[in-house]
Amino acid sequence: MNIAKRFLAVLGLLIASTLNMTAQQFGVIYSFPLDGAPCCPKPPAILAQGPDGSLYSTLPFGGNTSGAVFKVTPKGKFTDLYDFEADKLFAPYGGLTLGTDGRFYGTTSGGGNSLQGTVFAITMGGQLTTLYTFSGGSDGFAPYAPPIEGVDKNFYGTTLEAGSQSPQGTMYKVTTSGSLTTIHQFQGTDGAGPAVPLIQGIDGNLYGSTQFGGSRGDGALFRVTTAGSLTLLHSFDFTTGAYPSALIQASDGNFYGTTLSGGADNKGVVFRMTASGDVTVLHSFNPSGGDGGAPQTGLVQASDGNLYGTAQSGGASGYGTIFRVGLDGTYATVYSFDGTTAAYPVDTLLQHTNGKLYGMSMAAVENAGTVYSLNLGLKPFVALVLAAGKIGSPVAILGQGLTGAKSVSFNGVPIVVP
């Protein structure tokens, strides 16, 4: 069975029967304290759902530590899993990716033997292994985003900078045992400063964005093979936006994302890109009209088929928004942050298999950031840890209360349950 080709269709069938829209409900499930404990989420701050249903991510600051890995349950029970001070690693801005081996993978932008950043893996119990330490040379330095797992079981990521004469960031492949290969060095004209996660498309290629560079210097979108052959797909020019965030590939096969700036009012856009690189602006943000502004994070396609994202400014109170965009470009503000309970959202939303959306905010009046939820009335569903795989590969499934199954199938094709 070719899982890569069938997954999107299968996911559509899984979620089609789960929709039950009710009134939305926003809530803060955890507030980071101001007393010096690990705190202060910063972009891209990716949340990952663990096999236990808890949310896992990283924090760059806090107390006497140089950042931390934490987990928080959907009910708000917080656990500080690991403090980076002991290993002289620091500034884990990116958040985490769940691997099919059950470990989480992430990066620190500093620290390690050369103080240039690391790639690490950590178990749900908090046992951390440093997989690779960047030297600051041709392998790059200052990795921000967590690496993503490819269908070949290797992990792929980027560094913000590189130490040789002209590269402006790198793309790497790293094995679970820590063997790293630099597969591409950005030269500026093909992009510069990659700071958000890559994705693997259904064609097997990697897709991503850079904050800067491209032919106009305002950011770029690219496709690259796992061997490192890169194709520049789009260069931003403020008309189509500037300084893009992470891409997603939606159920229609197109790619979607946001930009921090540019567009009609210079407050960012939501855009769609075809696989060939044709970009269409779906929405230009206008904070003065009650809209959001300056979206710094990517999008998620929820089980209702719509795209959801956050904007750091604007909204009814000026503290940012959660918004919804249909694949046809229909736009609506879903929630405006009030500045008291939460303000300035900083990470790409995650839809938990309980149906709710979860995210993090940077600050509010009496805290140093929050983890929050938004209930849109979407029912629980199941999700694959890795959306594609080779024939015969094990498949890890996340869901609610999964204690056993009489049978599992994809599009009617039976799967062996170990």
- Provide block-wise average pLDDT over 10 residues at a time, the chain (418 residues): 36 35 77 82 92 94 79 96 76 93 94 86 96 92 95 96 77 97 94 95 96 93 96 94 96 97 93 97 88 93 97 92 96 94 93 97 84 95 81 79 73 70
- pLDDT score of 5: 38
The number of distinct structural domains making up the chain is 1
Closest by CA position to 247, among listed 266, 272, 264? 272
* Domain containing residue 106: 3-415
Alpha-carbon distance of 345 to 372, in angstroms, equals 10
- pLDDT score of 20: 33
DSSP secondary structure string, 186-211? --BTTBB---S--EE-TTS-EEEEES
- pLDDT score of 2: 39
- pLDDT score of 19: 33
Closest by CA position to 308, among listed 320, 319, 323? 323
Beta-strand runs (E) in 312-400:
313-314, 321-325, 331-336, 343-345, 350-351, 357-363, 370-375, 383-384, 397-398
Q: What is the distance in angstroms between the CA of the first residue and the CA of the last residue of the chain?
A: 18
CATH code of the domain containing 407: 2.130.10.10
Closest by CA position to 396, among listed 14, 96, 103? 103
pTM for the model = 0.90
